[in-house]
Every structure is written in structure tokens, then in C-alpha cells.
């Protein structure tokens, strides 16, 4: 049986989680209650790196959320790096309590991966969309190109994406994570014939919640 923890967090789990457990053991020699804060830290670290299985809904015409969290904005923006023009963007805010493993919204082949260094504004700050460090992953799918943008935040300062150009991903496949609070975006060309199936403020689950539906 697979342990539902992502391998991308092994270092942090050993360093922070393991360190907290050692401090909890030491604190027990003072008083058992003194160990509780350290146990709580260890449990939080393990919880942050949880990686539950997800089952995408049927139908190849639907794009699922690339991350857990809450939809913060649905807007038309410029995306010059991969889509080459105007794009429909759906932004998702991930708190430190969400699952942080990112997932492919549609099946496709990776055509573009670019990490852009930047600042580390809080992801609720409007400047984060343009100024924060980010990683753009562009795919070519059966319905055309689409992209996922991973954006680091004030606390989340490490973006993980093992995908490389030429690799294929199925809808719902794991495609990395952002550590400790972040923002993830789904982008499709503005001219794509899609119907938005979500709304600002709605909670979503990566790999399961439908964000867009392609028209026939």
C-alpha cells in the first residue's frame, strides 16, 4: 500500500519533522505537556506533504484543477512565453493547510518548461502574478495548447517540477509541488472554445474538480 506522502518532501520531513520529534522526546524529560508543541509541528510537516490519490472525472473534454485550494480570479491576460498572446487564466490560492502536489489538468505532451526568478510577495498580493518567482509548464493536448503556472509565495520559496520537454502526462498526473503556501494557475488560449465550470471563491481539489469544459 502506498504511503500518501510526496517524495518531494523527504528532506523537509526529515529535517523539520524529525527534528521536532527529537525535541518532543527531550521535552518529555521536563514534562509531557511540554512535548505537545513539538509533536504538533511534526504532524503539520507530515500533513503538508500528504499526497492523496485522486480520480479524475470521466470525459476527455474537461480540464481539472491543477491544485487544491480556492479560486481567486478568472480573467483574460497576456501569456507571451508559450501561448503567445491572450489567455484565459484561472488562479488558485493554496494555503499552508491545502495539499500542495500539483497535477496536470489535461492529458498532453510537455513542450515548454521555464523557471522565471523573481520576488516573493504574499500570493494574495496582486503583484505576485507578475513579479514573483514562477515556473511555466506548457503542454500540447488533443484540444490544443494549455499551460500550468506554479508561483512561489512569501513563505513558499521552492518550486518543484520534475517534468521535462517531450514527456507525456495524463490528466490528473502529478507534476510537482510548491512548498509552504503558493498560487497555481491554469491557462488556455483566449480563443479556445471552453465553458468555465467554476467560480471565484469556490474550493477545488487538484486532479478532480472540473474547471473548464471544451465545447464539441
- What is residue 104's predicted lDDT score, i.e. its pLDDT? 97
- What is residue 1's predicted lDDT score, i.e. its pLDDT? 45
- The residues spanned by each domain of the chain are 7-48, 62-214
Catalytic residue among 47, 95, 134, 182: 182
Please name which of 69, 45, 27, 31 lies closest in space to residue 207, comparing C-alpha atoms. 69
Q: Is 182 a catalytic residue?
A: yes
- What is residue 189's predicted lDDT score, i.e. its pLDDT? 97
CB-hemisphere CA count at 13 Å for 18? 7
pLDDT along the chain (216 residues), means of 10: 75 84 88 89 84 91 96 96 96 90 97 88 72 91 96 75 96 90 91 96 97 94
Beta bridge partners of 138: 112, 147
Please name which of 87, 88, 105 lies closest in space to residue 204, comparing C-alpha atoms. 105
Task: Say which CATH class 62-214 falls into.
Answer: mainly beta
- What is residue 3's predicted lDDT score, i.e. its pLDDT? 60
Between CA 199 and CA 146 the distance in angstroms is 19
Amino acid at each position: 500500500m502506498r504511503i500518501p506522502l510526496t517524495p518531494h518532501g523527504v528532506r523537509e520531513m526529515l529535517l523539520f519533522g524529525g527534528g521536532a520529534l527529537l525535541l518532543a522526546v527531550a521535552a518529555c524529560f521536563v514534562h509531557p505537556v511540554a512535548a505537545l508543541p513539538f509533536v504538533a509541528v511534526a504532524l503539520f510537516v507530515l500533513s503538508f506533504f500528504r499526497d492523496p490519490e485522486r480520480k479524475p472525472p470521466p470525459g476527455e473534454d474537461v480540464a481539472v484543477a491543477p491544485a487544491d485550494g480556492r479560486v481567486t480570479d478568472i480573467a483574460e491576460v497576456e501569456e507571451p512565453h508559450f501561448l503567445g498572446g491572450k489567455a484565459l487564466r484561472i488562479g488558485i490560492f493554496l494555503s499552508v493547510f491545502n495539499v500542495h502536489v500539483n497535477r496536470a489538468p489535461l492529458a498532453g505532451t510537455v513542450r515548454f518548461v521555464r523557471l522565471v526568478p523573481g520576488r516573493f510577495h504574499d500570493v494574495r498580493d496582486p503583484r505576485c502574478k507578475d513579479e514573483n518567482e514562477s515556473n511555466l509548464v506548457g503542454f500540447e493536448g488533443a484540444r490544443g495548447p494549455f499551460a500550468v503556472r506554479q508561483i512561489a509565495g512569501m513563505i513558499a520559496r521552492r518550486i518543484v517540477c520534475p517534468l521535462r520537454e517531450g514527456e507525456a502526462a495524463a490528466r490528473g498526473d502529478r507534476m510537482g509541488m510548491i512548498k509552504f503556501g503558493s498560487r497555481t494557475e491554469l491557462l488556455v488560449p483566449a480563443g479556445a472554445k471552453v465553458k468555465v465550470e467554476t467560480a471565484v471563491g469556490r474550493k477545488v481539489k487538484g486532479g478532480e474538480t472540473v474547471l473548464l469544459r471544451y465545447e464539441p
